[in-house]
Each structure stands twice: as C-alpha cells, then as structure tokens.
Amino acid sequence: MKEIICIVCPNGCRLQVDEAADYAVSGHKCPRGKTYGREELTNPVRTLTSTVRIEGAAYPRLPVKTDHPIPKAKISAVMAQLDAILARSPVKRGDIIAENIADSGANLVACRDL
C-alpha cells in the first residue's frame, strides 16, 4: 500500500494505492484521482511547460507546453531539444511548434499569440 497525493487538481486528495490489489485506489474525491493513482505508480506522466526562442516578436521567449502529459522520464530529453528551437512571429495560441517532440508522443504547442 502506498500513500500519494493526487496532483490533478488543487484539492490534493490523499490517495492510497494498493500495488498488491491491481493498483486499487482509495481516498479519491473524483474519478480522475483513480486514474492518476494507478498511473503514478505504473507510468508517471506530467505536462511540461517551458519557453522557446522566438524571432520578430515583442518578446524574445514564446511560452510552450506539451499538448498532453508525457512520461516523467522523457522530461529532460524534451527540455534538451527546446534549446535548438527557434519560432518565428507571428504565432497563434495552439500552433504546433514541434511534432512528437523527443519521441515523447506529444506535440509542443504555443501558449499565446506572439
């Protein structure tokens, strides 16, 4: 039995996950906690947010994120690739900046118009 905190929403429910019983979850206030509890112990994922360089815009950095959560183990590989990216203004919120970045299975998307 493992006790972890659900980070899906600000409620921060304390979850008990039973590895011995097929990762059965208790302590969750909503179904998202159940999925999180199981995933966190089998394949932990996070949405990565960061910035890349942008040319021709009012600011030098463009905020970006992975369009869905990626395995925690992939985070440093994705961060390493961001340094090489140079976006060009104009960019719209939601534009794909890089596809399947670092083989993470997620696209990198712009978070604002710039």
Partner 1 sequence: MKAQLAIIGGGPAGLAAAIAAHEAGVRDILILERDRECGGILNQCIHNGFGLHYFGEELTGPEYAGRFIDMLKDTSVRVLSDTMALDLTPERVIHTVNTAEGYMQIEAGAVILAMGCRERTRGAISIPGTRAAGIFTAGAAQRYVNIEGYMVGKRVVVLGSGDIGLIMSRRLTLEGAEVLACVELMPYSSGLTRNIVQCLEDFGIPLYLSHTVTDIRGKNRVEGVTVSRVDENRRPIPGTEMIFDCDTLLLSVGLIPENELSKQAGIILDPRTNGPEVYENMECSIPGIFACGNVVQVHDLVDFVSEEAQLAGRSAAEFLQKGSKPAGRLITLTGGSDVSYTLPQKIRFDAMPDRIKLSFRVRRSFGESKIILRAGDAILASFKRSHMAPGEMERVTLPKKLLNEVSGNEIILEVKEA
- Which parts of this chain interact with partner 1 (CB under 8 A)? 4-10, 12, 46-51, 53, 58-61, 63, 65, 72, 75, 79, 93, 111-113
Q: Which is nearer to ligand SF4, 13 or 110 (CB)?
A: 13
**Cβ 50 to partner 1, closest distance in Å?**
6
Please select the residue that binds ligand SF4; options are 1, 11, 47, 55, rule is CB under 6 A: 11
Residue 100 sits at the vertex; the CA angle it makes with 8 and 74, to the nearest 5 degrees, is 55
Q: How far is the C-alpha of 110 from the C-alpha of 114, rounded, in Å? A: 9
Q: Which is nearer to partner 1, 19 or 61 (CB)?
A: 61
Q: How far is the C-alpha of 29 from the C-alpha of 107, rounded, in Å? A: 31
86 binds ligand SF4 (CB under 6 A): no
**Cβ 61 to partner 1, closest distance in Å?**
4
Q: Which residues contact 31 (CB under 8 A, 6 or more apart)?
A: none
Please select the residue that binds ligand SF4; options are 1, 2, 19, 32, rule is CB under 6 A: 32
Nearest 10 degrees: Cα torsion 95, 98, 102, 107: 20
Half-sphere exposure at residue 84, Cβ-oriented, CA atoms within 13 angstroms: 7
Residue nearest to ligand SF4 (CB): 33
